[in-house]
A and B are shown apart, each in its own frame.
Chain A
Amino acid sequence: MMAEEHSTQPVAVEVKALTKQFGDQVVVNQASFEVRPGEIFVIMGPSGAGKSVLLRHLINLEKADSGQVLIDGLDAADASTHRKIRTALVFQAGALFNSMNVFDNLAYYPREHRLYGRKILREKVERMLAIMNIENAAKKLPSELSGGMRKRVAIARALIIEPQLLLYDEPTSELDPVTAANISEIIGTLKEEFAVTSVVVSHDRDLALGVADRVAIMIGGRLLTVATPEELKQSKDPEIADFLNPKIDVHDPRFRRLG
C-alpha cells in the first residue's frame, strides 16, 4: 500500500485576538501573534500563564470564546483543517498509550490511517527510534521508561506523523538539566531533518533562548511581547527581566510581597 499524498511544507500560524475563559477566570486574554513557516516559536511564561491552554487551541482541543487561530489560512477550530494539514502535539506527560509498547505507540498513526505497508512501516518506525536513540526501547511499555525516554518517544510518535506543524507542551519539564538540554537539542536540530513549524510552550529559559527563532512572553493570560532571544536578553521591561532572571531573596521573598 502506498503512502497518501500530502504536503510536507511547513505552515504559518496566525493567532488573532484569542480569548478563553474558564468560569470567571480569563486564562487567555486577547492573544495575537504570528508564526512563520519553518520557525521555532517558543511561548514562555510562568506556570498558570495560560500557555498550554493557548497551545490546545492550535490543535482543536479547546474552543475559543472569541478570536481565531488560522493554520495556513484555515481555521484551526475546524476538524477538517487538521485532516488537510498534518498537525501533532507532544503532550507534557507524553500521553503515550500505556497498554501498547513503544513500537506500537509509534506505529499507531500510520496503522490507523493505513499509510504504509508492513515493511515500510517497520522501517519508518525503526528509523524514528534510531533518530531519537531509543532503539532498545521498542518492545518496552511506557511504564518501563524513564522520564527523558518517554519524552523522546512522545516526540518520535509526533514526528512519524510527518507533521507540518509540531506543537510541544512543556517538553523539558520534570527532567534533569542534562536530559532537558538533550531534548532542547532534539527540538533545535529537527528542522535540519524535517520541514516543520514548531510551537513550543515552556518555562525553560535555556530551551527558549537556546533554540527559538522567536519567543513570546505570556504572563497572566496576556502576551507581553514577541521578540528574538537576543532582543529578550536585553529587554528592560521589569516583568520580562524578572521572569528571565529572577533573583532569589530570602530576606524579602516574593510570596510575602504577593501576600
Chain B
Amino acid sequence: MKTALNILEAIGSSLILLFQALGQIFSLPRQLGRTIDYCFHIGYLTFPIVAILSFFLGAVLALQTGYSLEFAGGQELIGRIVGLAMARELAPLITAFLLAGRVGSAITAEIASMTVYQEVDAMRTMQTPPERVLVMPRLVAIFIMMPSLAMVAIIIGWFGGAVVAQHVEFIGLDPTSYWSNLKSVVQFKDVLNGLLKAQIFGMVIVLVACNQGLITRGGPREIGFSVTKSVVSSMFMVLLLDYCLTRILM
C-alpha cells in the first residue's frame, strides 16, 4: 500500500513539475544558452555510446535471427526482422535506457546536490525558480535531441545487422537482399512510431530525474539513494509506457 502511494505521489509531483516547467516556457529565449549547453551534454555527448550500443544490438539481433532461421531457411527475412525490431522497439528502448543511466543519473545527482546544499533555495530567493533554470531547458533539450538520438540508433542498428548478415559464414546474406528485404517491410510509419516512443521516453526520464533531485532531503547518502531511485523509476516508467504505447500504436 505504502509503495503504491509512493509511486502515485512521485507520478503526481512529476506531473506538477511538468506543468510548472511548461509555465516557464516563455522565458526560453533567456535560457537559450543553458538549453544549448544541455543539448550538448544530453544529446551530442550521448551519440557515440548510442551508436556503439545500437550497432551491437542490431548485430546480435541479426546473429540470433540468422541462427534461428538457419535450419528452417528464410534467412533473407533477417532484414525484415532487424528493420522492424530496431525501428519500432529496440532503438527507442535502448536509447531510453542509456539516457536513464547516463543522463538521468547525472541530472538527479546535480539537482539533488543543489537542493541539499540550499542552492535551489538560493535560486528561489533570487526569483529564478528551478523550474525555469534547471528543468525547462533540460526538457526542451531532450525534446530537440531525442529524435536525432533515436534516429541514429535505428540506422546504426540496421547497419549492424547488415554487417553481420554479410560477414557471418552461416548467414552469408548479400547486402542488396538485406536492404531490399528491410525496405519492403519497414514503412515511414514504423520509424515515426519509434521516434514518438523515444520522444516520450526522453521527456519522462528527464522529468523523473529532475523531480527526484528537487525532492531530495538529507545529505550525501540521500543523494546516492535519489540517483538510484531516479534510474530505477525512470526505467520502470519507460517499460510501462513502452507496453502502453506499443499497444496504442499497433
Contact = CB atoms under 8 A, between A and B. Distances in A.
B164 to A, nearest CB: 44
B125 A112 contact: no
B187 interface: no
Contact of B126 (A60, A98, A109, A114): A109
Contacts, number: 43
Contacts of B114: 97
B192 interface: no
Interface string A89-111: 10101011110000000001100
B215 interface: no
A52 to B, nearest CB: 11
Contacts of A61: 121, 124-125
Nearest to A100: B119
Interface in A91-148: 91, 93, 95-98, 108-109, 112-114
Contacts of B126: 88, 108-109, 112, 161
A87 interface: yes
Interface in B121-139: 121-122, 124-128, 133
Most B CB within 10 A of own CB, among A83, A96, A112: A112
Contacts of B118: 91, 93, 95
Contacts of A161: 126
A161 B133 CA distance: 18
The 4 A-B pairs of least Cβ separation, nearest first, read A95-B118, A95-B122, A112-B128, A89-B125
Interface of B: 30, 113-114, 117-119, 121-122, 124-128, 133
20 contacts: A59-B125, A61-B121, A61-B124, A82-B125, A82-B127, A83-B127, A88-B125, A89-B122, A91-B118, A91-B122, A93-B118, A95-B118, A95-B119, A95-B122, A97-B119, A98-B113, A108-B128, A109-B128, A112-B30, A161-B126
